């Protein structure tokens, strides 16, 4: 019984994704000129499909007369055989092809990994894509430039798709950090791909950074409007709406009963010696409904900043109250009637507190969010004195 001899390993390794790099048995191999490297790269990308001699001569020497172009091609093939060996190139009359047994290339390997689609294959494909196709090869030929531009775009889109697919698998397996890295790599290759932006938003939300995901969506809206003059597609907008609901659920902690008496809530929040802080949300007053997320983000930022100003103690409580309609008055509920007074400023330890002052100066329509916060230990939050209130009113009158 005879045994089949194993296939010989390739003698040369050609890397085209990123910088052109040819490695032989004795190390790196340099080619005499750029057109020779371009010819080898083209044959490697199209292997094992044979290429017609006339097509090859037009690709790199299209500006020459036909006879001169064919002569240049013959010389280039002769030099490649000298470097790679006679068996590296296969010739069948008018057709030339690269022998994959002698030389292996990263481009066909990258495409096979992407088609395979498993997590390990996609990870290997993402690592294999080091940059644009032959980023350091510049050949002054129209045919070469057209082919190279199309091939670069095709391979770049394959890489972005592979990274997004890898991120989706990482996210489904609960690895939000790895999914975020995959999305960021895909976005670095093509910042106009919304599927990469959606992956980043979902990864941020899965990592507990929902407010940051909404801010990222805000940046995506601005980018698409600036670069393409368009808004995010329906899928991206729907994802942002879901994230806003998640953010609202995080901000509005579970209340008692839906039918609970609001006056009782106000008494619970404000009927004690602990001072309280109320934050009213913003409402989009323009015609562009896609800017609603910005109002939600500002409200979330204010609440987050107030929460971080506390040094210890239990977390504050947030109540959701209906707002007044058609006017600029505070929310019409017992809690906000007790707490939100736009003309009243607050100070911390007797000094005006800029954050709280700004929070209480917002007079926007919309549902009222009432947040009660305890001051840090040893610090007291109290209304400003009569003289400070008069100074604030005089400054407002001068500005108006």
Does residue 83 lie in a domain region? yes
If asked whether residues 265 and 350 sit together in one domain, one would say yes
In a domain, 3, yes or no: no
How far is Cα 351 from Cα 305, in angstroms, rounded to an integer? 19
What does the pLDDT read at residue 60? 93
320, 366: one domain: yes
Q: Which of 250, 272, 290 is the last residue of a domain?
A: 250
Q: Of all helices (H) and strands (E), which one includes residue 243?
A: helix 234-251
pLDDT of residue 155: 96
Q: Are residues 292 and 385 in the same domain?
A: yes
The structural domain count of the chain equals: 3
Which positions of the chain have pLDDT values less than 50?
1-6, 254-273, 310-376, 378-384
pLDDT score, position 307? 65
Closest CA to 124 of 201, 206, 17: 17
The answer to whether the CB of 99 falls within 8 A of the CB of 12 is: no
| E strand residue ranges, 290-345 | 317-321
Residues in CB range of 314: below 8 A, 6 or more apart: 374
- Identify whether residues 315 and 389 lie together within a single domain: yes
Note the pLDDT of residue 358.
39
73 DSSP assignment:
H
Domain membership of residue 205 as a residue range: 191-250
Residue 399 belongs to some domain of the structure: yes
């Amino acid at each position: 019984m005879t045994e089949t001899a194993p296939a010989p390993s390739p003698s040369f390794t050609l890397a085209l994704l990123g910088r052109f790099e040819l490695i032989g048995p004795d190390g790196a191999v340099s080619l005499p000129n750029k057109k020779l490297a371009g010819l080898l790269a083209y044959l490697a990308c199209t292997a094992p499909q044979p290429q017609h001699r006339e097509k090859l001569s037009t690709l790199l020497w299209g500006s020459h007369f036909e006879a001169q172009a064919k002569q240049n091609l013959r010389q280039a093939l002769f030099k490649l055989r000298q470097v790679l060996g006679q068996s590296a190139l296969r010739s069948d009359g008018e057709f030339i092809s690269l022998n994959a047994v002698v030389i292996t290339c990263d481009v066909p390997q990258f495409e096979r990994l992407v088609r395979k689609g498993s997590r390990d294959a996609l990870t290997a494909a993402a690592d294999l894509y080091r940059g644009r196709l032959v980023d350091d090869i510049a050949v002054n030929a129209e045919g070469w430039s057209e082919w190279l531009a199309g091939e670069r775009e095709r391979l770049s889109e394959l890489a972005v798709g592979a990274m997004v697919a890898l991120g989706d698998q990482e996210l489904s397996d609960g690895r939000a950090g790895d999914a975020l890295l995959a999305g960021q790599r895909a976005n670095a290759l093509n910042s106009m791909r919304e599927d990469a932006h959606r992956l980043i938003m979902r990864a941020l939300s899965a990592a507990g950074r929902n407010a940051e995901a909404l801010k990222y969506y805000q940046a995506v809206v601005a980018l698409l409007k600036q670069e393409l003059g368009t808004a995010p597609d329906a899928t991206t907008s729907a994802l942002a709406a879901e994230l806003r609901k998640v953010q609202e659920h995080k901000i509005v902690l579970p209340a008692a009963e839906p039918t609970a008496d609001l006056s009782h809530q106000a008494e619970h929040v404000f009927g004690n010696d602990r001072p309280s802080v109320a934050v009213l949300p913003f409402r989009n007053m323009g015609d562009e409904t896609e800017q609603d997320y910005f109002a939600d983000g500002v409200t979330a930022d204010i609440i987050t900043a107030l929460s971080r100003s506390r040094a210890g103690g239990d977390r504050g409580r947030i109540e959701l109250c209906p707002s007044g309609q058609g006017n600029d008055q505070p929310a019409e509920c017992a809690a906000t009637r007790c707490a939100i007074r736009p003309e009243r400023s607050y100070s911390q330890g007797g000094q005006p507190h800029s954050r709280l002052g700004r929070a209480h100066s917002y007079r926007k329509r919309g549902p009222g969010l009432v947040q009660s916060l305890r001051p840090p230990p040893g610090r007291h939050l109290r209304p400003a004195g009569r003289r400070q209130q008069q100074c604030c009113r005089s400054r407002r009158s001068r500005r108006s």
